[in-house]
Amino acid sequence: MKSIKTRLIVMNFLQYAIWGSWLISLGAYLGGELNFSGKQIGSFFATMGIASLFMPALMGIIADRWIQAQKLLGICHLVAGAFMVIAAPQTTYTLLYAMILCSVLFYMPTISLSNSVAYSSLTKARLDTVKHFPPIRVWGTVGFICAMILVDLLGFTKTPNQLYFSATLSFILGIYAFTLPQCETAKAEKNQSWVDAMGLRAFTLFKEKKMAVFFIFCMLLGVSLQITNAFANDYLTNHFGAMDIYQGTFGVEHANILISLSQLSETLCILLIPFFLRRFGIKIVMLISMVAWVLRFGLLGAGNPGSGVWMLILSMLVYGVAFDFFNISGSLYVDQETSPSIRSSAQGVFMIMTNGFGALIGSYAAGYVVDHIGWPNSWYIFAGYALVVTLLFAIIFKHKHDPEELPDKII
pLDDT for position 180: 92
Q: In this predicted structure, what is the pLDDT of residue 192?
A: 54
- How far lies 103's CA from each of 37, 38, 90, 306, 382, in Å? 22, 21, 14, 37, 28
User: Which structural domain range is residue 215 located in?
Assistant: 2-182+202-403
Domain tally, the chain: 1
Q: Is residue 133 part of a domain?
A: yes
In a domain, 336, yes or no: yes
- CATH number where 112 lies: 1.20.1250.20
**Are the CB atoms for 218 and 376 separated by under 8 Å?**
no
**Separation of alpha carbons 101 and 80, rounded Å:** 10
Query: What single string gives the DSSP state of each residue in 276-329?
Result: HHHHHHHHHHHHHHHHHHHHHHHHHHH--SSTTHHHHHHHHHHHHHHHHHHHHH
Task: Say which residues have a Cβ less than 8 Å from residue 175's Cβ, sequence separation at least 6.
Answer: 74, 78
- Please, what's the b/e burial string for 380-398 (b: 16 or more CB within 10 A of its CB; e: otherwise)? ebbbebbbebbeebeeebe
Please state, as a whole number, how many other Cβ atoms lie within 10 Å of the Cβ of residue 24.
27
The conformation of residue 223, written as its DSSP 8-state character, comes to T
Question: With left for phi above 0 and alpha for psi between -120 and 50, is residue 232 left, alpha or beta?
Answer: alpha
User: DSSP letters of 348-361?
Assistant: HHHHIIIIIIIHHH
- What single letter denotes the amino acid at residue 315? S
Supply φ then ψ for residue 348, to 5 degrees. -65, -40
DSSP-assigned letter for residue 243: S
Please give the pLDDT value at position 148. 94
Instruction: Please tell me what DSSP assigns to residue 154.
Output: T
CA 373 – CA 398 distance, rounded (Å)? 36
Q: How far is CA 200 from CA 60, 163, 224, in A?
A: 10, 35, 28
Q: Is there a domain that residue 196 lies in?
A: no
Signed CA dihedral, 315, 257, 269, 77: sign only: positive
User: What pTM does this model have?
Assistant: 0.82
> In 3D, which of 327, 336, 403 has the Cα closest to residue 138?
327
Question: Of 224, 226, 256, which is closest to residue 29 (Cα–Cα)?
Answer: 256
Cα torsion 108, 160, 177, 348 to 10°: value is 0
Q: How far is CA 233 from CA 39, 150, 193, 281, in A?
A: 16, 15, 49, 34
Nearest-angstrom CA–CA distance, 141 and 127:
22
Any domain includes 410? no
The predicted structure's pLDDT at residue 403: 60
Q: Which of 217, 140, 237, 267 is nearest to 393 (CA)?
A: 217
**Which residues, in sequence order, are CB contacts of 72 under 8 Å at separation 6+?**
59, 62, 63, 113
Ranges of residues in the chain whose predicted pLDDT is under 50: 188, 190, 407-411
Which is it for the CA torsion 189, 195, 197, 203, positive or negative?
negative
350 falls within a domain: yes
Q: Say if 213 falls within a structural domain.
A: yes
